[in-house]
Structure 1
């Protein structure tokens, strides 16, 4: 029998800790929420501790933990509405005016961002890393939410994690034929909802573009900023339902309702497999407080989309492990 000690987080057996990041990535793809993913992994560890006596080494520890994590995610998803992004819900863009902020939904309605360092492997085969990166992109995670939970699990395990059909069948207590059927249906639904991920690495020109983006934003030179955007670039700002289309409207928003962001600083990082920036906005009394995590999509040498996740309830940056105050 394999012996695994499960206790407080700082006392976990190293063999469990080495699976924590990949389990968090799996649960994030299933749930569309970094907060829910962390909660699901913690519950997985608790269930593993409680069921350790029944484990008896019948399967590899990794497979056993994935079975538990899958059941935890299926429990969490039972009866829930799917998470989405604002552009999925509103067919037409909003005007760049204050009144467009009238519609707001709770955090549980939206896809949430996740930092690459929380869910992606630190090393390994470059091709597998590329697939892992693309499989946490916001558009792909949002498309996954269109799948019924068990189909979602099948597709992630087969297409992203490269499990064999018989391994997935054993994990889900079903047949290989059922797994193959579920995968076929999931592929069709995913194709209609946004398609499968395709690796798109950044090149030197893209990195130069991002440096100019940071410079223009921190100087709040909106003329220079909008020149870096596609003419039909889009932006949305969960938890608000609004979304904007066109660099002119994005620029008008930044000079209008968004002008309070003047004087912000941004910290470059990677989130959802793409470039991202944590924005800290000036606050009364000095210093800068968390305001938004901006996740960017780069295409054809321009910024094509900006997902601005606003930290209005002061918990997003904490969940992501980001500083909550900068000078």
Structure 2
């Protein structure tokens, strides 16, 4: 291919930008890091586009430069953290402590999702899966994503990562074994009608300040996390205590914002100087109408 200007390059790669941003997010575990990796990858792609001999190889080559950029970032930064990887569960009535702004937290994906692709998102974008990937070495992470999320063959993956088929197969086997230890074992499928009803009840009760009704939705082993604050709470009793003493201590309301990382999400807003302002993104991990994990993200990241 001949050298192209910036506008022409943007037109060429436009059909691939969303899927590449998803790919970078899977590898890095953070939306901000994914944006940085994608930018670095696109700069490399623009510089090297003229050397690409076959137009049909463009997609795989874009995945190659994006993967390399994401892996370099992960190597520099280290793995992203979940709250329970960062600290032990906190006392729900104690001081929360300051946020850890320096910690690389696992973040929700900020891209615009296609509702028709809900099954794929649940399997390969949900927060628990992204978090589990953080326990894999960077190359194993890339192999697993390329093979199982994107469906590349072992030979295609080896080409993208500049390695051998045998190395790809070995990395995939080890990655699967580690992931099986990190991911919860799948249980019975959740009842979608119960889950939809629970989301509606959560929104109504939260906005009405009915903390007891919200608590009724919690599973016995419920968890509440809220990065960048390192404090998190384990079990229905402690989550309930924190809701009563802290969350509902100030006027709040929530509104549905659709699906984030494969799960229903609401935007929490607080009354500040007579105006409702966004304060937290809350992702509800539900099973048969009970909340098992209230994954809350506090601050600017929730509305960016």
TM-score (structure 2 length as normaliser): 0.91
Partner of 1:220: 209
Q: Which of 87, 104, 109 is the aligned partner of 1:109?
A: 104
Distance 1:212 1:226, change over 3 A: same
Distance 1:263 1:181, change over 3 A: closer
Partner of 2:10: 12
Alignment check: 8 A CA contact 1:34 1:114 kept: yes
Partner of 1:96: 92
1:300 is aligned to 2:288 = yes
1:288 is aligned to 2:276 = yes
Query: Shift of the alpha carbon at 1:273?
Result: 0.8
Distance 1:122 1:51 in 2: 34
Query: Shift of the alpha carbon at 1:223?
Result: 1.1
Query: Shift of the alpha carbon at 1:217?
Result: 0.5
Give a deviation string over 1:29-73, Cα, whole Å, max 9, x none.
100101111222222222211112111326521111101101111
Which structure 2 segments of 5+ residues have no match? Answer: none
Partner of 1:79: 76
1:309 is aligned to 2:304 = no
Query: Shift of the alpha carbon at 1:161?
Result: 0.8
Q: Which runs of 4+ in 1 moved over 4 A?
A: 2-5, 119-123, 195-202
Distance 2:135 2:213 in 1: 38
Give a deviation string over 1:232-283, Cα, whole Å, max 9, x none.
2110111122111233322221221223442323233211111111111111
Alignment check: 8 A CA contact 2:38 2:70 kept: no
Query: Shift of the alpha carbon at 1:204?
Result: 1.8
Mapping 1:53-202, distance limit 5 Å: 53-57=50-54, 59-91=56-88, 93-99=89-95, 101-102=96-97, 104-106=99-101, 108-115=103-110, 118=111, 120-121=113-114, 123=116, 130-194=119-183
**More off after superposition, 251-260 vs 190-199:** 190-199
Which structure 1 segments of 5+ residues have no match? Answer: 319-327
Query: Shift of the alpha carbon at 1:132?
Result: 3.4
Alignment check: 8 A CA contact 2:190 2:287 kept: no
